[in-house]
Amino acid sequence: MKKISTLVLGLLAVAAFAQDKTANRTLPKVDVKTLTGETVNSSTFDNAGKPIIIDFWATWCKPCIEELNTIHELYPDWQKETGVKLITISLDDARTMQRVAPFVNGKGWTYESYIDPNGDFKRAMNVNMPPQTFVLNGKNEIVWQHVGFAEGNEDEIYDAVKKVAASK
């Protein structure tokens, strides 16, 4: 089993020395669940060439809810101006995942919502703690990310989205 470590370390070391500077990082291929239990692969997230925001949250995470509530009010304008789509990834596990659909609907959020009950997508995206927000360009490449939320951060997110929308 030591061999796997050595192999992985070796690969990473080679990788670190052989960096080229062309393409950006895209989304990993990880299965997440819809609110009705269907399996969807994260690599199929799509917004027809327009920007995407991916937001990791949980029903037990207060700043996450604040962030999504704040954006909820601005979302119609953001969509109109840039065509952006916000995708929420809930980190609720078996304890609270059944709460996610009623919670999202109760809040009246209109985001595209998924659940990552065992943290597979979270790990693949290197998320430490929610909320963590990513902005993707039209090619699904990650161009911006941010951890935490405080009032006013929504402007920063939107600046990143506008930049992407303008650079098309």
Partner 1 sequence: MKTPAGLKVAMLSLPGIICMQGFLLMALLFSPGVSAQVLGGSIHGNVQIDGQYYLTDSLIGAPEVPEHFLCNGFANFIYERDNFSAGLRYENYTNPILGFDSRYKGNGIPYRFLDYKNEELEITVGNFYDQFGSGVVFRSYEERGLGLDNAMDGLRVKYNPVNGIYFKGIIGYQRDFFSKGEGIVRGADLEWNINESIKALDSCKTKFILGGNFVSKYQDDQDPVYILPKNVGAGSGRLSIIHGNFNITGEYAYKANDPSASNNYIYKDGSATIVTATYSKKGFGFTLAGKRVDNMSFRSDRSATLNSLMINYLPAMTKNHTNILAALYPYATQPNGEYGAQAELFFNCKPNSFLGGKYGTDVTVNYSRAQSIDKVATGDDYGYTSDFLKTGKEIYFEDFNVEFNHKWNKKFRSIISYVYINYNKDVIEGRENFGHVYSHIGILETTWKMNSKNSLRIELQHLYTKQDKQSWALLLAEFSVSPHWFVAAFDEYNYGNKIVTERFHYYTGTFGYTRGSNRVQLGYGRQRAGIFCVGGVCRQVPASNGFTLSVTSSF
91-150 residues in contact with partner 1 (CB under 8 A) are 93-96, 98-99, 101-108, 117-120, 123-129, 132, 142-148, 150
16 binds partner 1 (CB under 8 A): yes
Contact range with partner 1 by CB under 8 A, out of 45-53, 78-86, 90-98: 90-98
* Least distance from partner 1 to the Cβ atom of residue 32, Å: 13
Smallest separation, CB 82 to partner 1 (Å): 19
Q: Hey, what amino acid is at 115?
A: I
Separation in Å, CA 25 to CA 52, 74, 137: 14, 28, 11
Nearer to partner 1 among residue 85 and residue 131 (C-beta): 131
Shortest Å distance, C-beta 168 to partner 1: 17
CA 158 to chain centre: 15
Q: What CA dihedral angle connects 47, 49, 50 and 51, to 10 degrees?
A: 80
**Closest separation in Å from C-beta 85 to partner 1:** 19
Residue 94 β-bridge partners: none
Is 83 or 101 the residue whose CB approaches partner 1 more closely?
101
Interface of this chain with partner 1, residues 26 to 85, rule: CB under 8 A = 26, 28-29, 36-39, 59-62, 66
Q: How far lies 62's CA from each of 79, 130, 139, in Å? A: 25, 10, 31
Contacts (Cβ under 8 Å, ≥6 apart) of 88: 55, 56, 57, 68, 104, 109, 111, 112, 113, 114
Residue recorded with tokens 């405080």: 150
Cβ 59 to partner 1, closest distance in Å? 8
Task: Specify the residue, 79 or 124, whose C-beta has the smaller distance to partner 1.
Answer: 124
